[in-house]
Amino acid sequence: MTSAVTRRGPDAPGTEPPEEQRGTRSGLAWLLDLPAHAVRGVTRSAATTPGRLSLIAAGLVTLSLLTGLVGALSVQDRGNTIDGLIEHREPLAAAAQQVYRSLSDADATAASAFLSTGAEPRQLRERYQFDIAKAGAALAKAASDAGGVPKAAAQVDILSRQLPVYTGLVETARANNRQGFPVGAAYLREASELMRSTILPAAHELYEIDTERLVDEQDDAAGFPWLTALLVFALLGALIATQVYLRRRTNRVFNVGLVVATVAVGVAIVWSAVGMTVQSVLVSSGSSGGTEQVDVVVRARIAALQARADETLTLVARGGGSEYEKEFSALTAQLAGEDGTGGLLAEAADRAQGGPAAEHIDAAREDTAAWLRAHEQVRRLEGAGDYEQAVRLAIDGGNEQSAAHAFARLDENLAAAIDAGRQNFLDDTTNGARALTLLAPGFAVLAVIAALGTTLGIWERLREYR
């Protein structure tokens, strides 16, 4: 310690770095030598206290500004990601879901319409048309974003090519049906085959891709900002170290400028830590209570729709549809478990507990039980040879005991649960975005204050050496 003190006093002002003698050299050689000169210059100035202080000041100012820039940009980026989630990514996942759901429903509805006798029921016709219109509109929306993801683009391509073919087949079936020709049924089977073997798998794939992209972006928006954290803590450490160093050199406890800078950085850390933690928690909650819950309910709804199509197709096949019945059992087991108390609906109920979707899911579980009871009755009637009665019980929506009625209520409740989940997502994520309000400019301003404080603080010390 003592040796350091004695050295500091006398020789400090005397050892200013000598002027460079660059006049004699050629320009190019000077340019090549520049880095070496710079290093030599820095080393030389670091040897003296004022030189060292200048270097420290320059380093701190640079670090402050860099931290401010990186921090402000990363907060801004987060905000943009969240806005993207709300305005873009989530609606697109919902659009993909809509494509999948509408097409499954169209398939089930077309089969029901086939089973009904006489003039096609207007209700079913309208439902089919609505499904196709919704699928088309949602597909256009989903297509608008598929460009950058080849896998998604491939699915959109399949869907946009095959959907018109499907509707064409259904209309041909209709025209023949109205004339009383059984070839209409063959066209309907062909349409259903196209739907089940090509269109629905593509719609499913697209839905999975878009949901995955949504979850990925939610993870991004809730992730830890490593670079900013590293920089800001490095800056804080450097400021404290500088103050400790100055205190030793000058025996002054406080340097106002540096204290202001340290406080500014501290405020930036606390503010962004609180803001980003709140935001991450909210975005994660929007993900678990919103997106993931919606995904479970969507899967339940689609399993229900496909089971419904199987139920009607079993009757269309009139005794030949054992594979449809097998698929029906598999799908309803997926929906409600083997004993009617598990499956996707139980999972959804667990997730929705206490939330606004809970009542819809509870109602959906009751509807499923009612549907399965009606289905058993339908099977019993067909087994006993009473085919007409079985068909009526399956497709007559006006009868409270019918499978059609129970299924329609189930579908409504699941749709309501999906809306509630999406609302959860929207609320949480929007509030998450609010937690970041003014943080980006605030962070930048605080960084600039830190830079100014550092400059003033060290300049004050440097003045003492003149």
Report the interface residues with another protein, using CB under 8 A: 114-118, 161, 165, 169, 176-187, 189-191, 193-194, 197, 317-320, 384-385, 387-388, 391
CA 341 to chain centroid, in Å, comes to 30
Least CB distance to another protein at residue 184 (A): 6
For another protein, which is the closer residue by CB, 395 or 403? 395
Least CB distance to another protein at residue 319 (A): 4
For another protein, which is the closer residue by CB, 18 or 148? 148
For another protein, which is the closer residue by CB, 108 or 294? 108
Least CB distance to another protein at residue 315 (A): 10
Least CB distance to another protein at residue 107 (A): 14
Least CB distance to another protein at residue 333 (A): 25
Torsion of CA 202, 208, 212, 214, to 10 degrees: 90
For another protein, which is the closer residue by CB, 10 or 398? 398
| Residue 277 token pair | 């933690």
For another protein, which is the closer residue by CB, 3 or 197? 197
| Residue 20 token pair | 């460079």
- Please give the C-alpha separations between residue 98 and each of 5, 107, 300, 302, 307, in angstroms, as whole numbers: 77, 14, 14, 10, 18
Q: Which amino acid is at 456?
A: L
| Residue 367 token pair | 């509807």
First to last CA, the chain: 24
Q: For the chain, give the longest Cα–Cα distance.
A: 115
Least CB distance to another protein at residue 381 (A): 11
For another protein, which is the closer residue by CB, 123 or 176? 176
How far is Cα 263 from Cα 235, in angstroms, rounded to an integer? Answer: 12
| Residue 185 token pair | 């049924």
Least CB distance to another protein at residue 195 (A): 10
| Residue 212 token pair | 């995955």
Least CB distance to another protein at residue 103 (A): 15
No. of helices (H) and no. of strands (E), the chain: 17, 0
| Residue 28 token pair | 């190019």
Q: Please tell me the number of Cα atoms within 13 Å of 399 on its side-chain side.
A: 15
Query: Which residues, at least 6 apart from 63, have a Cβ–Cβ distance to it below 8 Å?
Result: 231, 234, 235, 238
How far is Cα 244 from Cα 200, in angstroms, rounded to an integer? Answer: 68
For another protein, which is the closer residue by CB, 18 or 118? 118
Least CB distance to another protein at residue 163 (A): 12
Q: Which amino acid is at 299?
A: R
Nearest in space to 432 (alpha carbons), one of 280, 291, 309: 280
| Residue 238 token pair | 């450097």
For another protein, which is the closer residue by CB, 233 or 387? 387
For another protein, which is the closer residue by CB, 385 or 398? 385
Nearest in space to 418 (alpha carbons), one of 291, 324, 325, 320: 291
What one-character DSSP code corresponds to residue 147? G
For residues 292 and 310, is the Cβ–Cβ distance under 8 A?
no
| Residue 258 token pair | 């540096």
For another protein, which is the closer residue by CB, 173 or 436? 173
Least CB distance to another protein at residue 165 (A): 6
CA 407 to chain centroid, in Å, comes to 31
For another protein, which is the closer residue by CB, 151 or 178? 178
Least CB distance to another protein at residue 411 (A): 25
How far is Cα 365 from Cα 358, in angstroms, rounded to an integer? Answer: 11
